[in-house]
Chain A
Amino acid sequence: MIDYTMQAGRLTVLLGGELDHGSAPRIRRAIDTLIAKYSPQVLAVDVGALTFMDSSGLGVLMGRYKNMARRGGRIVVKNATGTVERIFAMSGVYQVMEKE
């Protein structure tokens, strides 16, 4: 399970620890379960507490973007700093996702 809040159509998930190829499937399933449960209009992914992320995190984010897009929703990335921000920025994800 991951920490989350749901308010006014906005589902905010708080990711912590390390996000890599090993942990990505668990995080992916957890977020998709919450999306299916709450049908949010906005999925906000707070990555501020991640202690590590490689490009596997990009894959998770892009997969959730596709999931939300199919449902007519959108995705926001929150609190990306350091290495996490560098990976997001170089990939161009901010062309399709908002940044907070």
Chain B
Amino acid sequence: MHENQFTMRFCARSENEKFARSVVAAFAAQKDPTLDILQDIKTAVSEAVTNAIIHGYRGREEGEVELSACWQGHVLSITVRDFGAGIADVPRAMEPFFTTSPEGEERSGMGFCVMQAFMDDVRVTSAPGQGTSVILKKSVCAPARADGATKIFETY
């Protein structure tokens, strides 16, 4: 059976960061993740979308962010893509505390670190002038119960 998926594009505006989080959370909720897993996913998506808005289109008034997600069994695969500036040195950009933002903007440079800490897998593809694509993956299966109890009630 073809797995469920969605793709959407929205303006690279900061007010859409919350919107993007909400969309992915609603999609992830289809497989009944724990609240902690849901929060992890929302946080990582927020980091990726914020990066796209701030760095992908710095100095430009117009730009779009593409957000897509699909299920691979119980693994949620999310892609955040911009069509902007691109990253010249991806490994360096992913180092903790590295930021190209001016000091007045008070960016922590921890966006990629948060993504890596909160998701199971993070892949970044980028090149100068070619935009950036960030793929985030997270299993939404809750860990097995230590007492081996079987779930006997279903929630509808």
Binding site for B on A (CB under 8 A): 18, 20-22, 24, 28, 52-56, 58-60, 62-63, 82-83, 86-87, 90-91
Contacts and interface: CB of A to CB of B under 8 A. Distances in A.
Interface residues of B, number: 26
Contact of B107 (A22, A59, A86): A59
Given A52-B42, A54-B114, A90-B114, A20 B108 contact: no
Interface in B94-129: 96, 105-108, 110-111, 113-114, 117-118
Interface of B: 14-15, 17-18, 21, 36, 39-40, 42-43, 46-47, 50, 53-54, 96, 105-108, 110-111, 113-114, 117-118
Most buried by A among B21, B50, B106: B106
A83 B39 contact: yes
Nearest to A63: B106
A82 B50 CA distance: 21
Contact of A21 (B50, B96, B110, B114): B50
B106 A60 contact: yes
Most buried by B among A21, A24, A28, A53: A21
Contacts of A53: 43
B108 to A, nearest CB: 4
A23 B105 CA distance: 13
15 contacts: A21-B17, A24-B106, A28-B106, A52-B39, A52-B43, A54-B111, A55-B110, A55-B111, A59-B105, A59-B106, A59-B108, A83-B118, A86-B118, A87-B110, A91-B96
A20 B17 contact: yes
A82 B117 CA distance: 13
Contacts of A20: 14, 17-18, 46, 50
Given A54-B50, A82-B36, A22 B108 contact: no
Given A20-B18, A22-B14, A22-B18, A90 B113 contact: yes
Pairs of residues from A and B, 5 with the lowest C-beta to C-beta distance, nearest first? A22-B14, A58-B108, A59-B106, A63-B106, A55-B110
Nearest to B96: A91
Given A21-B54, A22-B15, A87-B110, 10 more contacts: A20-B18, A21-B53, A22-B17, A54-B111, A55-B113, A56-B50, A58-B110, A59-B108, A60-B106, A90-B110
Contact of B43 (A59, A62, A83): A83
